[in-house]
A and B are shown apart, each in its own frame.
Chain A
Amino acid sequence: MIAVAAGLIALAFWRIDYDWKWDEVWAYRRRFVTGWLATVAISLAALVISGLVGLVTAICLGSKSLVLEAVARVYVELIRGTPLLVQLLIGFYVVASAVGLENRFVVGILILSLFSGAYMAEIFRGGLKAIPQPQRDAARAIGLTRWQAFRLVILPQAARIVLPPVAGQLASLIKDSSLLSVIAISEFTLAAQEVNAFTYSALESYLPLAAGYLLLTLPLSWAARGLERRLRHEG
């Protein structure tokens, strides 16, 4: 399907006799690679941090303490109800400068993590809920402490269940990280924008940009589907 689409696009361009300036863009390949690597680093860092944020939030959401549950609920609703762009702008221009945090990279990763954390929380919540109550009863019945039951029974099962959606969340993180370019973080999208500014060749800058993201997201969605299929058969 992709080959057909690419073929049609190539045909269209050949018809209008577009003057491809690939060699000009090729000169900037270093910038592309560095930007791509930065995107990978940002996405992985955000995945880890948002995973922790999400786990804590998920636990708070299920907590018997009304205060913890309320705080977690407010956090999730706020984050899911506002665009990432808005969070980036407020986070960087308002919060970060108020706190005195100047490193754009760190700020960007933190804001992205906070954003993703709310979605991770829902994923983890779903994973925990998917474990039937009798399982927890069985764990208690054999005399496991709450911590042991969580570590030996709940967590391994929940981890298997959440792995496919978490892989999907990583793909989302990779794509959402492109917005970090808005606060001038040197990741992949910004790199492409800069090259375009230098060479005035938008297509030759942005097509590799898209390809670079696909290089990351396609294997992830393939892996997520494979994991889902395996999970269904494991019962």
Chain B
Amino acid sequence: MKLVLEDVRQRFTAADGTVAEVLRGCTLATGEIRTLVLIGPSGGGKSTLLRILAGIDVPAAGRVSFDGRPLPRDEAGLLAWRRQVGTVFQAYNLFPHLSALDNLILPLVHVHGMTREAAEARIREPLARFGLAEHARKRPASLSGGQQQRIAILRALVVEPSILFLDEPTSALDPEMTSEVLDMIVEVGALGGQIVLATHEMGFARRVADELAFVADGLIEAHGPSTEFFDRPATPRLTGFLAKVL
């Protein structure tokens, strides 16, 4: 995928009426890559940007295009985009009133028009491959955080998305569960999936990213291929950030 951002801005209006400009003009042009990783301090705008890329929110200004095709701004267009991609959030992805199996089947049946039998057949192999088959009948409340996130990733994958968006998928997990989720993401990448990931896991970012973008204070302060990004940080701010987290 080639991602191009032109002066992307986002604003939030708080309950008391104050307006905060969370993204202040993000500009970016990637090469032809498979995995893009967004890093940066909390509150810097990573998640906000990711939500725009995934079609969840509409930017206040600016343009986004994937492979030369601009992201729609109308709800109908965005709905079509969301159905084409997959998104996994930090937590609360799964619907607690449904079993893991029903969670997985829901988008296939209600969004992509498959029958229940066809949907169940489709998920059988991925469930087994990622070691989740034994948990299929359980409700999310009976699953560990790591299992829940892996089921959530699977749910995003079974619709065969063109891009998988992950917004800090391991930030709410303990180290052991974090690694099982990260392993799954590595495998998704290895199978050829395109990924946009926002994360705090620097070691992991270094491992999987083709290119990285450093998002801080609502701007993309630095961007580049993974090799030079860490070895030759482009700005003092990035140097400081990396010094703290690596």
Q: CB within 8 Å of B: which residues of A?
A: 132, 134-135, 137-145, 148, 152-153, 156-157, 160, 234-235
A142–B79 touching, CB < 8 Å: no
B141 pairs with A134, CB closer than 8 A: no
User: Which B residues are CB-close (under 8 A) to A144?
Assistant: 107, 110-111
Please report the C-alpha to C-alpha distance between residue A139 and residue B90 in the assembled complex, in whole angstroms: 14
Which of A137, A153, A160, A234 makes the CB contact (< 8 A) with B139?
A234
Whether the Cβ atoms of A141 and B89 lie closer than 8 Å is yes
Top 3 closest pairs, chain A to chain B, by CB: A235-B141, A143-B83, A134-B92
Q: Which of B87, B90, B92 is in CB contact (< 8 Å) with A135?
A: B92
Tell me how far the C-beta of B184 lies from the nearest C-beta in chain A, rounded to whole angstroms.
Answer: 18
A43 vs chain B, min Cβ distance (A): 29
B56 partner residues in chain A, CB cutoff 8 A: 137, 140-141
The reply to whether B79 and A138 form a contact with Cβ atoms under 8 Å apart is: no
Are B82 and A135 closer than 8 Å at their CB atoms?
A: no
B111 touches A143 (CB 8 A): yes
- Which of the segments B15-23, B93-101, B175-183, B187-195 contacts the partner chain? B93-101
Chain B nearest CB from A201 CB (Å) reads 53
Is A137's CB under 8 angstroms from B89's CB? yes
B52 in the interface (beta carbon within 8 A): no
Chain B positions near chain A (C-beta within 8 angstroms): 51, 54, 56, 79, 82-83, 86-87, 89-97, 106-107, 110-111, 139, 141, 152, 155-156, 159
* Cα separation A111 to B107 with both chains bound (whole Å): 43
Chief secondary structure at chain A's binding surface: helix
Q: With A134-B91, A143-B79, A144-B110 given, is the CB distance from A235 to B96 under 8 Å?
A: yes
A-B contact list, 10 entries, CB within 8 Å: A138-B94, A142-B86, A142-B159, A143-B82, A143-B107, A144-B107, A148-B110, A148-B111, A156-B97, A157-B95
Q: B97: which of A138, A140, A160 is its contact (CB, 8 Å)?
A: A160
A140 touches B106 (CB 8 A): no
Q: In whole Å, how far is A126's beta carbon from the nearest beta carbon of chain B?
A: 17
Which B residue sits closest to A159, measured CB to CB?
B97
User: B95 contacts which chain A residues (CB < 8 A)?
Assistant: 135, 138-139, 152-153, 157
Instruction: Please state if A142 and B139 are interface contacts (CB–CB under 8 Å).
Output: no
Provide the bound-state CA to CA distance between A137 and B141, in Å: 19
Complex contacts, A140 vs chain B, CB 8 Å = 56, 82
Residues from chain A with a CB closer than 8 A to the CB of B94 are 138
B156 / chain A contacts, CB cutoff of 8 Å: 141-142
Q: How far is the CA of A157 from the CA of B92 in the complex (A)?
A: 13
Once the chains bind, are A141 and B82 in contact (CB under 8 Å)? yes
CA distance A145 to B91 in the complex (A): 21
CA distance A135 to B106 in the complex (A): 14
CA distance A157 to B79 in the complex (A): 23
> With contacts A134-B89, A234-B139, A234-B141 known, is A141 near B54, CB below 8 A?
yes
Considering the chains assembled together, what is the distance between the CA atoms of A142 and B83 in angstroms? 6
CB distance from A197 to the nearest CB of B (A): 53
- What separation, in Å, do the CA atoms of A152 and B107 have in the docked complex? 11
Complex CA gap A144/B108 in Å reads 11
Chain B, Cβ-Cβ closest to A143? B83
Q: How far is the CA of A160 from the CA of B95 in the complex (A)?
A: 13
> B169 to nearest A CB, angstroms?
12
**Chain A residues within 8 Å of B93, by CB:** 134, 138
Asked whether, in the complex, the Cβ of B107 is within 8 Å of the Cβ of A142, the reply is yes
Q: Which residues of A contact B54 (CB under 8 A)?
A: 141
Cβ B155 vs Cβ A142 within 8 A: yes
Minimum CB–CB distance from A12 to chain B (whole Å) comes to 52
Cβ contact of B106, chosen from A132, A145, A152, A160, cutoff 8 A: A152
Q: Tell me the nearest residue of chain B to A141, going by C-beta.
A: B87
Chain B residues with CB under 8 A of A152: 95, 106, 110
> Measured between alpha carbons, how far is A59 from B151 in the docked complex, in Å?
32
When C-beta atoms are compared, the residue in chain A nearest to B89 turns out to be A134
User: Given the complex of chains A and B, what is the CA–CA distance between A176 and B216 in angstroms?
Assistant: 59
| Residue of A whose beta carbon sits closest to that of B110 | A148
In the complex, A141 Cα to B163 Cα: how many Å?
12
Decide: B96 and A142 in contact? CB cutoff 8 A. Answer: no
Q: Is the CB of B106 within 8 A of A138?
A: no
CA distance A234 to B91 in the complex (A): 18
Q: Which residue of B51, B82, B95, B141 has the most chain A CB atoms within 10 A of its CB atom?
A: B95
